[in-house]
């Protein structure tokens, strides 16, 4: 069977190629590096064997010949093997050596190039590695070797004269020696320079300076990082984008059920946040017969889950032909519309009380409320008070989802925790102090108060858009306070300082 040497890109899972995703999904065995984020492996089959062959910076690592032995062993066992490597497999990735080992063993291989860090990290920092006016060539250089040693394989004098951008991989620790060596060989002291840590990850940090100052500017950076020398580095002032997005540098936790988290998580990521998924709840469908819809003149649905599970029971949308349909909010209305039902009533406030207001002029005789088993009884009680016959159809139960240790650790470090329902509040076993709490609306806020907590942010529109608006407003005002504050006040803000530019 073929062994695939696949580039995973520099970090951002969105930079995996279509071919890489396809092969990850098909793989029997995936041998991956340390820097590959778990998200990039999410598409792997549940039966796939994941083998970690990480190289910790300087520390424990799986020896290269051991990796090659693994690839040969699994490849000759007839398994579909994906060797997933950071960036591009043939750029400082020892992919060449692995291909040689496979060729020697007579095993077929294919190479799937990836987006290399030396291009992607600058791009996310707002630095084009070439530019018509600023650089017509680019060199990828390893910073692994000590430039002071005479046996270095690199000709630093020639590199100093190189007419274009120099991108140095694996060089943060040696940056002082490298900059020194280039200066000594005559590269101009005032040439713009940059260093980028964890490029394309949500917590990317960039520092800029000149060949003379970059080593001290970058002293606080940790691997993985690349350094870059050349006039193009100055373009960042104008072209910076990634670290400027509204939620850049912030970690935001999503506590809703794993199956429901993706929309909110995707929206947060687009705004620049690093999303920590810490699902507090899980939806457990309840079994039961299809409701006899012809007995009712009003159907109320209170969540997209309710819509999905109701249709699993009904199976045929025509069952709703004669009944007026009320949805609690736009998300629920959208779930109905996806199934060809346009809600007759959608309130302006997306809580039970809002739905009641909206129903005040609707004549109701017999109502069915399709919802979670444990929901509040505001809606059925009030409709009964108005003389209606009300049945409650419990379609699902919301139960606690225990956090894994990794999720718990990640949650302890977030800047914001979002709560999109009172059950996410009630079932999250530990709400770490230090994070700002964001509530989707008054019912969720009341649940927080019951736990003795007061949310810093409450959405005035009780849906995802409203929650994001409120969160953005809080970030903007906190950043205004921080930026107006004196230097010594820094750190008093719950928000991290801006990326250490300059």
Q: Which residues participate in catalysis according to the annotation?
A: 33, 55, 170
Instruction: Quickly count: other Cβ atoms within 10 Å of residue 377's Cβ.
Output: 12
Residue (200 or 255) nearer to ligand SAH, CB:
200
List residues binding ligand SAH (CB under 6 A). Answer: 10-11, 35, 85-88, 91-93, 116-117, 121, 169-170, 196, 198-201, 223-226
Residue (121 or 275) nearer to ligand SAH, CB:
121
> Residue 310 gets which letter from DSSP?
H
Question: Minimal distance in Å, beta carbon 474 to ligand SAH?
Answer: 29
Residues 236 and 477: their CA atoms lie apart, in Å, by: 26
Residue (98 or 458) nearer to ligand SAH, CB:
98
Q: Where are the alpha helices (DSSP H) in 218-260?
A: 236-239
The helix/strand/coil state of 82 is: strand
User: Under a CB-based contact definition with an 8 Å cutoff, are residues 313 and 368 in contact?
Assistant: no
Residues 204 and 198: their CA atoms lie apart, in Å, by: 5
Residues 58 and 35: their CA atoms lie apart, in Å, by: 14
224 phi, psi to nearest 5 deg: -80, 135
Q: Which residue is nearest to ligand SAH (CB)?
A: 87
Residues 276 and 440: their CA atoms lie apart, in Å, by: 18
Q: Which of 29, 30, 7, 3 is nearest to 17 (CA)?
A: 7
Residue (141 or 335) nearer to ligand SAH, CB:
141
Residue (201 or 419) nearer to ligand SAH, CB:
201
Residues 326 and 355: their CA atoms lie apart, in Å, by: 8
Residue (222 or 295) nearer to ligand SAH, CB:
222
Question: Minimal distance in Å, beta carbon 95 to ligand SAH?
Answer: 7
459 phi, psi to nearest 5 deg: -70, 145
Strand segments, DSSP code E, in 61-133 are 81-85, 109-112
Helix (H) or strand (E) holding 106: none
Residues 247 and 256: their CA atoms lie apart, in Å, by: 20
Helix (H) or strand (E) holding 175: helix 175-184
Question: Minimal distance in Å, beta carbon 15 to ligand SAH?
Answer: 10
For the chain, what's the residue count? 502
Residue (126 or 441) nearer to ligand SAH, CB:
126
Question: Minimal distance in Å, beta carbon 355 to ligand SAH?
Answer: 47
User: Under a CB-based contact definition with an 8 Å cutoff, are residues 143 and 225 in contact?
Assistant: no
Residue (9 or 306) nearer to ligand SAH, CB:
9
Question: Minimal distance in Å, beta carbon 165 to ligand SAH?
Answer: 15
Instruction: Specify the residue for token string 């819509």.
Output: 307
User: Under a CB-based contact definition with an 8 Å cutoff, are residues 238 and 232 in contact?
Assistant: no
User: Under a CB-based contact definition with an 8 Å cutoff, are residues 9 and 200 in contact?
Assistant: yes
Rg, C-alpha atoms of the chain? 28
């Amino acid at each position: 069977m073929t062994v695939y040497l696949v580039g995973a890109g520099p970090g951002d899972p969105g930079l995996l190629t279509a071919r890489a995703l396809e092969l990850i999904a098909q793989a029997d065995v995936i041998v991956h590096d340390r820097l590959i984020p778990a998200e990039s492996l999410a598409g792997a089959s549940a039966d796939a064997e994941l083998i970690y062959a990480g190289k910790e910076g300087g520390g424990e690592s799986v020896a290269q010949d051991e990796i090659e032995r693994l690839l040969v062993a699994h490849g000759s066992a007839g398994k579909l093997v994906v060797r997933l490597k950071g960036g591009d497999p043939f750029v400082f990735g020892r992919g060449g050596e692995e291909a040689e080992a496979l060729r020697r063993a007579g095993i077929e291989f294919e190479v799937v190039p990836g987006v290399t860090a030396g291009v992607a990290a600058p791009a996310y920092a707002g630095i084009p590695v070439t530019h018509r006016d600023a650089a017509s060539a680019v060199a990828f250089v390893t910073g692994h070797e000590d430039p002071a040693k005479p046996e270095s394989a690199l000709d630093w004098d020639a590199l100093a004269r190189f007419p274009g951008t120099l991108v140095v991989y694996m060089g943060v620790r040696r940056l002082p020696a490298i900059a020194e060596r280039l200066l000594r060989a005559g590269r101009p002291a005032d040439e713009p320079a940059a260093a980028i840590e964890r490029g394309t990850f949500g917590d990317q940090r960039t520092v800029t300076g000149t060949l003379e100052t970059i080593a001290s500017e970058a002293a606080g950076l940790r691997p993985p990082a690349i350094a870059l020398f050349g006039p193009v580095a100055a373009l960042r002032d104008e072209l910076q984008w990634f670290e400027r997005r509204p939620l850049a540098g912030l970690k935001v936790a999503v506590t809703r059920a794993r199956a429901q988290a993706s929309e909110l998580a995707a929206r947060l990521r687009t705004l620049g946040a690093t999303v920590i998924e810490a699902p507090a709840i899980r939806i457990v469908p309840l079994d039961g017969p299809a409701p006899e819809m012809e007995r009712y003149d009003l159907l109320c649905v209170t969540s997209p889950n309710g819509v999905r599970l109701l249709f699993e029971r009904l199976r045929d949308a025509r069952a709703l032909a004669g009944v007026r349909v009320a949805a609690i909010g736009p998300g629920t209305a959208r779930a109905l519309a996806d199934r060809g039902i346009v809600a007759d009533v959608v309130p302006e406030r997306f809580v039970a009380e809002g739905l009641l207001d909206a129903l005040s002029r609707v004549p109701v005789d017999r109502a069915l409320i399709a919802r979670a088993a444990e929901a509040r009884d505001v809606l059925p009680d009030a409709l009964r008070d108005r003389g209606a016959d009300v049945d409650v159809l419990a379609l699902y139960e919301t139960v606690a989802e225990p956090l894994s240790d990794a999720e718990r650790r990640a949650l302890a470090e977030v800047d914001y925790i979002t709560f999109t329902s009172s059950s996410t509040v009630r079932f999250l076993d530990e709400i770490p102090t230090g994070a700002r709490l964001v509530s989707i609306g008054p019912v969720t806020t009341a649940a927080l108060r019951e736990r003795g907590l007061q949310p810093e942010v409450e959405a005035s529109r009780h849906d995802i858009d409203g929650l994001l608006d409120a969160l953005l407003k809080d970030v903007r005002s906190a950043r205004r306070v921080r930026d107006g504050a004196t230097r010594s006040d820094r750190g008093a803000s719950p928000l991290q300082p801006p990326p250490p530019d300059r």
